[in-house]
Structure 1
Amino acid sequence: MKLLIAVVQDQDAGPLMQRLVDQGFGATKLASTGGFLRQGNTTILIGLEDAQVDAAVECIRRTCRHRRQAAAGAGDVEVGAATIFVLRVDRFERI
């Protein structure tokens, strides 16, 4: 079992959640804030079987986009589409 944690831009969160649900993935959406530009982003938690990880990552890859954004004192910078962590889960219970 795996826990996939994806930190995505707020603009991508709604479409990504819809795509994940359409593909049969259960996900939890959490509001979060990034440090670099101090802007809102969304952290999405997805519990998966090992064999589902690649399909979930592909959903994220197809939905989330890089963007150019103005940063004070730095001009335009490219902000990431998503940051993904995949962690091993020793135990999972749904209560």
Structure 2
Amino acid sequence: MKLIIAIVQDEDSGNLVDVLTESNFRVTKLATTGGFLKAGNTTLIIGVEEELVDKVLSQIEEICKRREQIITAPTPVTGSTGLYVPYPVEVEVGGATVFVVDVDKFVKI
């Protein structure tokens, strides 16, 4: 048995959970926050048999596409005035960070 931990953007999580549950995978959804953009994301925990890992990964890849997004990053004004001016920056978001780990023991009570 394998445990898949997938960190995806909130924007993609609803569609991904729907697709996974329609394929009869059990999914636990956790609200999390990313460190880089300090934005909300979703961590999905999925337990599957080893032969089904590739199917789950392909569904994640199908739904969670990378895309460009404009964010407003604070940029310091010259000197040490402590003044920051919002400055638009284009960053790549989306996709997924996925961990697949072995499960030593699985118990359902």
TM range (shorter): over 0.9
Q: What's the counterpart of residue 58 of structure 2?
A: 58
**CA apart distance, 1:21:** 0.6
Number of residue pairs matched by the alignment = 95
Q: TM-score, normalised by structure 2?
A: 0.83
SS in 1 for 2:106: coil
Q: SS where residue 60 of structure 2 aligns?
A: helix
Equivalent AA in structure 2 for residue 77 of structure 1: V
Q: Could you say which structure has the larger radius of gyration?
A: 2
Q: Which residue does the alignment assign to 2:76?
A: none
Q: Which residue identity lines up with residue 91 of structure 1 in the other structure?
A: K
1:1-28 per-residue CA deviation (whole Å, 9 max, x = no partner) reads 1000000000000000000011110010
Q: State the percentage of identical aligned residues.
A: 51
Q: Deviations over 1:46-87 (max 9, x none)?
A: 001000100000110111111212241571011141000000
- Which runs of 5 or more structure 2 residues have no equivalent in the other structure? 74-86
Q: Does 1:86 align with 2:100?
A: yes
The CA RMSD measured in Å over matched residues stands at: 1.1
- Would you say 1:15 and 2:15 are equivalent positions? yes
Higher RCO (CA 8 Å, separation ≥ 6 residues) = 1
- With over 3 angstroms needed to count, the CA separation of the structure-2 counterparts of 1:75 and 1:29, relative to structure 1, is same
Alignment of 1:14-33 (within 5 A): 14-33=14-33
**Structure 1: which 5+ residue stretches go unaligned?**
none
* Whole-Å separation in 2 of the counterparts to 1:32 and 1:69: 20
Q: TM-score, normalised by structure 1?
A: 0.95
